[in-house]
Amino acid sequence: MQPDLTSDLSTRQWRWLVDRVGEPAAAAALSAAVAKGKKAYPLNAARELGLVLPAAAALPPVPVPVSAEQVQIARARLRELRASITSGAPR
Count H helices, E strands: the chain? 4, 0
The pLDDT value recorded for residue 65 is 86
Model-wide pTM > 0.75 = no
Question: Whats the size of the chain, residue-wise?
Answer: 91
DSSP character at residue 69: H
CA–CA separation, 27 and 34 (whole Å): 11
pLDDT in tens, 10-68: 999 999 999 999 999 999 999 999 999 999 999 999 999 999 999 999 998 887 888 99
CA–CA separation, 84 and 43 (whole Å): 48
